Structure 1
Amino acid sequence: MINSNIRKAVIIGCGFVGSACAFALMQSGLFNELVLIDANHDRAEGEALDISHGLPFSKPMQIYAGTYDDISDASIVIITAGTGQKEGETRLDLVHKNVEIFKSIIGQISTRSFNGILLIVSNPVDILTYTALKLSGLPSNRVFGSGTVLDTARLKHLLGEHLGVDARSVHAFILGEHGDSEIAAFSSANVSGIPLRCFCKKNCGDICHPKKMDEIADDVKNIAYEIIKKKNATYYGIAMSVKRICEAVVLDQKSILPVSCIQNGLYGINDVALSMPAIVGENGVERNIDIPLNDEEQEAIKHSADTLHSIIKDIDF
């Protein structure tokens, strides 16, 4: 990343998600400088002060409220700003309100000499990732969204609970839209190399497929609505997802993560941002990974892309 300080990050938006991300990154030790930007500067200052008081229990770093001028030498700018999802709303309901907010934010970024990575977290993340890419003029590998990293973590958690194993031993992906058209790619799922169906059949019986898997996939898809109903917002899970993505970038781990990025040809999908497994390192998204999907899953991915295309065509960029 040209002229970028790999140890400096900026978070734009200091609501529940932004502040939770800042707290998670403070504890991670990945950065030595963290800048918080918000339309309400006092809010950014308050969050920076509060979080910085935990530094004696963590690792040394600077945390402060800043302005858009602070982004020029940052390695990662994380955008969490936008109108939050309310009970009864889908993520796609937020499109037009948050696209307008993004026009202002990306406009500010574009006037600075920013050569780092733009990580989109605001919802609907796929639409806003596409918006940020179109408005910023940055290379597509350096503009991507948190995508279904959190959904995938939820899937691993639920599968781990069901199978009675450590969720870290479960390898499975949620793909497509971060939203109602997402799909669980069970055909490629495994438990420490053992295909999920084989593991499940031996340990749980055939009842696991397909009924139980459909139930788990629905739970993953709808759990955010349940959390919002109970506590008005979700923020801890996504904060840990952002930390994991930043870790892959800062440490150049070449991690395979289902981030939302522009698609160009895989499964016949073009000119839309959605989540497929991708290698993520210091230069952002290096390439998508073509994992095996069955015919039904491939059709579901195309349907998810069509859902997003239908929204994009009505947006005035």
Structure 2
Amino acid sequence: MTDGTDIDEEGLGASDRRVRRTSKLAIVGAGAVGATMAYAALMRGAARTVALYDINTAKVEAEALDLGHGVQFMPMADVVGSDDIAVCADADVVMFTAGAKQRPGQTRIELAEATIGLVKKVLPELVAVAPDATYVMVTNPVDIVTYAALKISGLPPNQLFGSGTVLDSSRLRYLVAQHTGVAVQNVHAYIAGEHGDTELPLWSSATIGSVPLLDWQGLHGSGPLTREVRDRIAREVVESAYRIIEGKGATNYAIALAGSRIIEAVLKDERRILPISSLLDDYHGISDVCLSVPTLVGSFGAGDRLPIPMSVDELSGLHRSADALREVARSFGF
């Protein structure tokens, strides 16, 4: 005997099936970064629905169709694309990848003006259709864009943050692994500060396995990580994006994978420690600026910042990075 509600084989009523929530990822911008991020998220099964939004109707619809044709070969998901911002409605996570394209030789800071103008136009409309989403700004210069987006949207700092130096830290670990001959997964090191020219590696807290990186003596003839080697690696981390842009016009694969890691941390409440860019409040004496430090990330968005011990030089470098970003933000009226 039932009350008239249809019951399926799992014991759920039809009305329950209709209202049951599944994870939804919205990606703003169907360019190289946005489309590749959608692909990476789908391949990793990060979300049940992936929605692409772009003002270029033909491009966004074509990208969604192309991705959809491959769903058979990846974890099941729905893929939609539209030039109507309503496609982002009720998203759990919004990745903002739209912005001016970085030209060869152009710094990220030089991109700021055009991108901030776009954020002013689009972000309020996004918040209107997806007020409860966690917003992740990916567009460069990400620290300035994130700070501006917080001011424009009025969202709390835990709900909106930037992709920060998640990719830079991956580049750092890759280069250290290449030098030492160990798996990159066994290298634990962070880039902090600006996602750009003033960023800095936190060498003093880095480890390889359980060995402090500064004490590493080498394996397989690789040799220790001397000051000269560390400086070379740090320069390569900063310059690698410029090299990639010079050679192929855009960086898209690694940032898409880095972005998918952030997406999963939020949607699956993984409570991962990631060097995202968020608004700091008296972090080692730094306030009122968005820059990257290791931060707890989960369903709550950006959580506690880890009080990582730093050397005098590292702390000084982090303050210099903060001052540089704050100056740029002020020049744009924020």
Deviation digits for residues 165-209 of structure 1 (CA, Å, limit 9, x no counterpart)? 000000000000000000011111101121012223677687622
Whether 2:79 is the aligned partner of 1:63: answer yes
Picking from 29, 34, 45, the partner of 2:50 is 34
Between 1:199-208 and 1:168-177, the stretch displaced more is 199-208
Aligned 8 A contact 1:6 1:74 in 2: no
Report what 1:177 is aligned to.
Answer: 194
Report what 2:3 is aligned to.
Answer: none
Cα distance in 2, alignment partners of residues 69 and 291 from structure 1: 41
Whether 2:291 is the aligned partner of 1:274: answer yes
Picking from 249, 253, 259, the partner of 1:232 is 249
Q: Which amino acid aligns with 2:94?
A: V
> What's the CA shift for 1:71?
2.7
Percentage identity across aligned positions? 38
Aligned 8 A contact 2:96 2:136 in 1: yes
Whether 2:181 is the aligned partner of 1:164: answer yes
Deviation digits for residues 184-243 of structure 1 (CA, Å, limit 9, x no counterpart)? 111111011210122236776876221100000000110001111111111000000001
* Structure 2 unpaired stretches of 5+: 1-18
Report what 2:36 is aligned to.
Answer: 20
Trace 1:90-169 onto structure 2 (pairs within 5 A): 90-169=107-186
TM-score (structure 1 length as normaliser): 0.96
> What's the CA shift for 1:316?
3.4
Cα distance in 2, alignment partners of residues 113 and 81 from structure 1: 17
Q: Which amino acid aligns with 1:135?
A: I
Cα distance in 2, alignment partners of residues 190 and 211 from structure 1: 18
TM-score (structure 2 length as normaliser): 0.91
- Partner SS, residue 74 of structure 1: coil
- Partner SS, residue 36 of structure 2: helix
RMSD of aligned alpha carbons: 1.7
- Partner SS, residue 92 of structure 2: strand
> What's the CA shift for 1:72?
3.3
- Partner SS, residue 216 of structure 2: helix
Aligned 8 A contact 2:165 2:277 in 1: yes
Report what 1:197 is aligned to.
Answer: 214
Report what 1:252 is aligned to.
Answer: 269
Quick check: which one's helix share is greater? 1
Between 1:307-316 and 1:191-200, the stretch displaced more is 191-200
Report what 1:50 is aligned to.
Answer: 66
> What's the CA shift for 1:286?
1.2
Cα distance in 2, alignment partners of residues 65 and 25 from structure 1: 15
Q: Which amino acid aligns with 2:195?
A: H
Paired residues, number: 315
Cα distance in 2, alignment partners of residues 29 and 91 from structure 1: 31
Aligned 8 A contact 1:5 1:73 in 2: no
Bigger radius of gyration:
2
Cα distance in 1, alignment partners of residues 90 and 217 from structure 2: 49
Cα distance in 1, alignment partners of residues 219 and 77 from structure 2: 49
> What's the CA shift for 1:61?
1.1
